[in-house]
Amino acid sequence: MYQPKDIWLVSFGTLDHGSLPRALNKFEETILDDVPKLNDPFTRPWIGSESWPSLNGALVEKVSFPDEDQPTGETEIDLLGSRHDDRVTCTAIDVV
């Protein structure tokens, strides 16, 4: 489901700008047979999925963490957001 035309590559830190394209090209050569051609039809995954139902109110629930010697846990909240190429909205969601 992941294709070069459907991803972003973000790099940071100290880079040898000459070696990065060479490394990517070397990697790309190993997967070319598995990557669809640029003009092949492409449907993004989950686009045809039903929308998640709207929230109709608040729910407060206490859930005990399943480990007696750990006093805290983690909560992750995910959502289907804006288009991946809508950088302003994606950045706004990241900030929130």
- The 3 state secondary structure assigned to 57-73 is CCCCCCCCCCCCCCCCC
| Structural domain contains residue 64 | no
pLDDT at 28: 83
Q: What is the count of structural domains for the chain? A: 1
Please report whether residue 78 resides in a domain: no
Q: Which amino acid is at 86?
A: D
Q: What is the pLDDT of residue 7?
A: 67
Question: pLDDT tens for residues 41-86?
Answer: 877 666 766 777 777 888 888 877 667 777 777 777 776 667 878 8
User: Does residue 68 sit within a domain?
Assistant: no
Q: Is residue 63 part of a domain?
A: no
The residue range of the domain holding 24 is 1-48
- Based on C-alpha coordinates, what's the Rg of the chain? 20
Q: What is the pTM of this model?
A: 0.35
Residue 3 and residue 42 in contact, taking contact as beta carbons nearer than 8 Å: yes
pLDDT above 70 covers what percent of the chain? 79
pLDDT in tens, 45-56: 667 667 777 778
